[in-house]
Amino acid sequence: MALIFVTGNHHKFKEASEIAIQHGIEIEHRNIPYVEIQADKLEDVIRLGIQQACALLNGPCFAEDSGLFIQAFKGFPGPYSNFVFRTLGNDGILKLMVDETNRRAEFKSAVGYCEPGLKPKVFTGGVEGNITLEARGTLGFGFDPIFVPTGEDGRTFAEMPAGEKNKLSHRARAIEAFFRWFKQRKTVDR
């Protein structure tokens, strides 16, 4: 039986699918709208979200929430990255960063898993990097064109093919952590 990934974002589903294949896990896409709360931590947002999605589906499922946390702006846009991308976009972030010397940022991801009778489990992943001076690349989605991960060759996430981004990304790390737990658990932590 395929494991259900609850998301309205087909980019996220595609990224997760490629990781799932490597783990021999079959995943299925479902777009079930669940409520996201306003909270500074992604973990808090996803914990409540996956609990609801699980109740609606009445079956095991996982979901993911991610955000770009810019150090000079105390974590903005953080958990509201989706809204900020829709309203300000990459251009807005670059405008805010004009003359800003501290360009450090972290992409964070939280994956929530729940099944009936189980307390939600949350797995996190992060990747540190810098905000570019201009947007570069057309791959990926969201803030990918303005984020360069630390320790790599200076390309943005939007300049990396999916397979490469999946070796580094916050989302890949959180999903990997979840898949490893999912495959290995023998007893359910109720």
96 is a site residue for a second copy (CB under 8 A): yes
92 is a site residue for a second copy (CB under 8 A): yes
Dist. CA 77–CA 60, nearest whole Å:
30
Selected catalytic residue, list 40, 65, 99, 189: 65
CA distances from 173 to 4, 73, 114, 165, 166 (A): 18, 24, 19, 11, 8
Nearest to 149 by CA among 124, 175, 176, 131: 131
Residue among 60 and 75 whose Cβ is closer to a second copy: 75
CA distances from 15 to 30, 33, 143 (A): 15, 20, 15
Residue among 17 and 82 whose Cβ is closer to a second copy: 82
95 is a site residue for a second copy (CB under 8 A): yes
Given a contact cutoff of 8 angstroms between Cβ atoms, the answer to whether 62 and 113 are in contact is yes
98 is a site residue for a second copy (CB under 8 A): yes
Q: Quote the crossing angle between the two packed helices 10-22 and 170-184, to the nearest 10°.
A: 50
Any catalytic annotation for residue 65? yes
Structure tokens at 81: 């990255």
Q: How far is the CB of 186 from a second copy (least distance, A)?
A: 35
Mention every residue, 6+ apart, whose C-beta is less than 8 A from residue 179: 19, 20, 23, 25
Site string for a second copy, 29-58 (x = CB under 8 A): ------xxxx-x----x--x----------
Q: How far is the CB of 94 from a second copy (least distance, A)?
A: 11
Q: How far is the CB of 166 from a second copy (least distance, A)?
A: 27
**116 phi/psi in degrees, rounded to 5:** -50, 130
Q: How far is the CB of 91 from a second copy (least distance, A)?
A: 10
- Residues 72-91 within binding reach of a second copy (CB under 8 A): 73-76, 78-80, 83-84, 86-88
Nearest to 68 by CA among 128, 21, 116, 3: 128
Residue among 26 and 40 whose Cβ is closer to a second copy: 40
Active site residues: 65
Task: Give the residues lining the site for a second copy (CB under 8 A).
Answer: 35-38, 40, 45, 48, 73-76, 78-80, 83-84, 86-88, 92, 95-96, 98
